[in-house]
Amino acid sequence: MKARLHPLRFRCLVLTAAVLSSCATVERQPTLTFEQHTLRIPLTVAANGSVSLAQQPPMTGRIDLSPILDEERNEASVPFKTVQVMMFYGRYYVVADGFRSVWELTPRPGTSTASYRKIPVPLESGESALTGCRLSRYGPSQSSCLRLDRKGTDPIFISARGEVSHACP
Amino acid sequence: MLVPRPIALAILSLLFATSLRAAPIEADPHELYDEARIHLRNGELGSADASLRRLRSILSQGSQWDPDGVFANELLPPLLKKLRRMQVVTGQLDAFSERALKDLTPPEISSEASTLRPYTEWATSTIQRLRSERDQIIASRLADPEEQAAVTRTASYARTERILETDVMRSLADSSANAAPVRATEDPGIDPVSVRFRQLKRDLMRLMMERDRLEQEAKQTNAGEKAYLHALAVLVTEGSLDEVQSGSLQPTAISKVFGEFLDQELEAARSLTSQSSQEREARQEALDRYRRYNAVLTRAKLGTDQSRRIQALSRAVEDCPVKDGLLVTSRAARWLYGLLTSVLALVAGISSWMAIARGRKLSPARRSDEPEEPVIEAVFPRRKVGGNAA
């Protein structure tokens, strides 16, 4: 008797699940093309390690770069007076002369915070830090790269996924 | 001597790589765009045109510098239109200058002329007419006040200014100089007028020279004042003044610069977790200097009193704990240690001197006590000269 009830119970469960799934509405938000970039923005670093985006209107806001500056600072380096910021596919990239990496900031929508990560730049022999840095957007439309030029070496490219390479794919 | 082919190839490739590495960074559209905007703002139309040409050539090569055509389609065209508008206006200003110079014909001296009123009226009305005509050219072609301001920095506009300020008066002077003697010879009755006119002309020329001299002096004074302000600002900020900031200094801004500098120092002092005694002393000496600077600036009425800031800085320095390996933390203690060291050195010196003196006294006695070294007298038998001669 028990062996007969099992399939019946199973069928009931399947039926209930089917009914419930048909009742549930999956919310699909429509999307549109939205490329979000800026030209490079030179910003002056305040004494507390933050930069004000209002230096380049119409942008406003403030980024606290002190954790990044602390990590980039070493005994030989002078204080970072200016940084270069560029928005690329909605993320912000920060670099300055004396850095050893490019830093990627991903803003968290609806909050006043951003996650950040380091993208180490392969340094040439004899090169202790980046000098003459310049960020640009480069490459074909919709799959462009962030190009980092610096003195004395070939440019490197950072893809929209944050991968570093010597050519823009 | 022939070099093997692989070695030659290696050398060539090395040279090629070296030359590539030394190449400067290629100008990108953003740089050229910024350059062109700055040149336009400064009224340097030729340089702006050159930058825009370079930008267009980069973009026309289909390079990958402009992924979405932002520069080609959105940023470059308005800048080019602006440049064209300004070029049209400067062209019209040049034409206006040439026309104005041709038309500068002062009125002839009439036989009844007893005063210079017709000349001054002519000069005034001509300058007013030319000025309004010139301003009309600019206003009718350029609606944007920024573009109007940029045109006033061009060479064409400067030329029109010269016409209005100098050339009108010069033409008047030249014309009257030529006409007056003729009139004087034609009509003896006009001679007194001619004499008076020559005198006025000399006065006019003297006044123009005086004006030029005063302008020159004013420029020199201005430059000197700027240099003094810069030096003063550098002094009160202990050499940490920004170059850009120092370029636009006003007399009252010295105090502001000084205040900002004190704020920075205060922030730096508050961020300190500890300091050595030497550092503390250096900071206190710096504080004394800041007090003197403040007193001088306040006395010269070059801004507001910064005593509060200096006081806050002094408190921050005082509050920062002193940590270092030395026991000397205060000036009095240091004096004590110095004194102790001197006394010890003195004692050591006296001891050494006494030891030396005693050693000198003992040395003759010791020599007498010392056992005499055995001396062997050497006796050499004399040869008999010629005795055993062969």
Taking only the tens place, the pLDDT of each residue in B326-381 is 555 556 767 887 888 888 989 888 888 888 877 766 555 444 444 444 444 444 44
- The answer to whether the CB atoms of B68 and A141 lie below 8 A apart is yes
* Partners of residue A144 in chain B, C-beta under 8 Å: 64, 67-68
pLDDT band at A155 (very low <50, low <70, confident <90, very high): very high
- The answer to whether the CB atoms of A134 and B267 lie below 8 A apart is no
Q: What is the percentage of chain B residues whose pLDDT exceeds 70?
A: 72
Shortest Cα distance, chain B CAs vs residue A139, angstroms: 5
CA B305 to centroid of chain Cα atoms: 28
Taking only the tens place, the pLDDT of each residue in B256-269 is 788 888 888 888 88
Q: What is the percentage of chain A residues whose pLDDT exceeds 90?
A: 57
Contact B86, B151 (CB under 8 A): yes
- The answer to whether the CB atoms of A137 and B67 lie below 8 A apart is yes
| DSSP run (H or E) holding B58 | helix B45-60
**Model pTM score:** 0.52
Q: Where are the domains of chain A?
A: 41-130
Residue B26 has pLDDT above 50, yes or no: yes
Q: Where are the domains of chain B?
A: 25-168, 223-344
Least CB-CB distance to B264: which of A47, A136, A137? A47
Rounded to an integer, the average pLDDT of B295-301 is 82
Q: What is the maximum span of chain A, computed from C-alpha positions, in angstroms?
A: 84
- The answer to whether the CB atoms of B28 and A136 lie below 8 A apart is yes
Name the residue with higher pLDDT: A45 or A143: A45
Rounded to an integer, the average pLDDT of B96-121 is 74
ipTM for the complex?
0.73
Taking only the tens place, the pLDDT of each residue in A8-44 is 677 767 667 766 666 666 568 899 988 889 999 999 9
- Residues 6 or more apart whose CB falls under 8 angstroms from that of B320 comprise B269, B272, B273, B274, B275, B280
* Partners of residue B67 in chain A, C-beta under 8 Å: 137-142, 144
Taking only the tens place, the pLDDT of each residue in B177-214 is 666 555 555 555 556 766 777 888 888 888 888 888 89
Q: Is A120 on the interface with B (CB under 8 A)?
A: no
Write down the mean pLDDT value for chain B.
77
pLDDT value of position B205? 87
Contact A98, A81 (CB under 8 A): no
Give CA–CA dist A167/B19, Å, rounded. Answer: 20
Least CB-CB distance to B30: which of A47, A136, A141? A136
Lowest-pLDDT range of A36-40, A101-105, A114-118, B223-227: B223-227
